[in-house]
Amino acid sequence: MAIILCDLDGTLLVKTRPDPPGVVSPKRAAINQALAEVCDAPGVDFSQGLQHGLTDWQISERAVRIRRPEARIDAAVWQRVLARAAAVFRPPAAGSAPIYRRLAGVPEVLHALRAAGHVLGLVTGNVELFARLKLSEAGIDRGLFTGPAAFGDHGYERADILRAALAAADGVNTRSVVVLGDTLHDLAGAQAVGLPFLGTGAMGLRRDQVIQDARRAPDVPPAAWVADLGDPGAVVTAVAELIAS
């Protein structure tokens, strides 16, 4: 049995389309207002700090620095930003078109992993409020994830969020915990905390970027790659091979 710590964006789901001109998504609107007020950055735009694989905390700091190059969002400021974003957040109107959709193979692959005896957890750079919104809009049952969960609320680096999830797992053998993700940031985070990694190439992550040289040092955790999550059997097999390594 393994605990599978699943990333969200680019792994299980994607945004259906960029925001149309003049339209701002509910998440972006809430974070923009919170950053403008808390960080004294009028006109800040969260989307200007975007880089796939970064955490919401990192993206927010990058966006603020476009307005204030010296700015730094420390833990105390980040908590104030989150509180303000939650206060001003307005969910999508009832009946509006979903902004997020699940990727091919989801949720079938999640059910297959659970049927194989594995436990699903969540590790995402999204703050929890917006992670839940994305899961709901994409039609992915939050109840499938009964394992440890950690979000961008309390982690600047992805490795910090993984450590929070491991703390919640309390004493589990790290060789039985697998990180499922789609970017080199996910891979680097897994390596930093000594966890096996399963990369999915649905959003462009290549096999050669994930698979280490055959002469890999013994202290580097194993890694595997699947083209996408469309073949649940291949994903279950990859997980079994990783935890047996």
Selection from 196, 171, 197, 162 nearest residue 183 by Cα: 197
Residue 20 within a domain: no
Question: Which residues, at least 6 apart from 240, have a Cβ–Cβ distance to it below 8 Å?
Answer: 116
Q: Which of 68, 88, 108 is the last residue before a domain boundary? A: 88
pLDDT of residue 95: 83
Residue 36 within a domain: yes
pLDDT of residue 28: 95
Quick one: 129 and 60 in the same domain? Answer: no
- Asked if residue 224 lies in contact with residue 211, where contact means CB atoms within 8 angstroms, the answer is yes
The strand ranges marked E within 90-148 are 100-102, 119-123
- Asked if residue 190 lies in contact with residue 179, where contact means CB atoms within 8 angstroms, the answer is yes
The strand ranges marked E within 93-165 are 100-102, 119-123, 149-150
- Asked if residue 178 lies in contact with residue 5, where contact means CB atoms within 8 angstroms, the answer is yes
User: Residue 188's domain is classified under what CATH number?
Assistant: 3.40.50.1000
Q: What is the pLDDT along the chain (245 residues), one digit of tens a residue?
A: 899 999 999 999 999 888 877 778 999 999 999 999 999 999 999 999 999 999 999 999 999 999 999 999 999 999 999 999 999 999 988 888 889 999 999 999 999 999 999 999 999 999 999 999 999 999 999 999 999 999 999 999 999 999 999 998 877 777 799 999 999 999 999 999 999 999 999 999 999 999 875 445 667 899 999 999 999 999 999 999 999 98
* Predicted structure pTM score: 0.94
Quick one: 141 and 223 in the same domain? Answer: yes
Quick one: 194 and 78 in the same domain? Answer: no
CA 238 from centroid of its chain's CA atoms: 20
Quick one: 133 and 232 in the same domain? Answer: yes
Q: Is the dihedral of CA 179, 186, 205, 13 positive or negative?
A: positive
Q: What is the DSSP string of 80-95?
A: HHHHHHHHH--PPPTT
The strand ranges marked E within 56-176 are 100-102, 119-123, 149-150
Domain hosting 154: range is: 3-15+99-244
Quick one: 147 and 64 in the same domain? Answer: no
What is the identity of the amino acid at 84?
Answer: R
Quick one: 36 and 144 in the same domain? Answer: no
Quick one: 172 and 210 in the same domain? Answer: yes
Domain count along the chain? 2
What is the identity of the amino acid at 165?
Answer: A
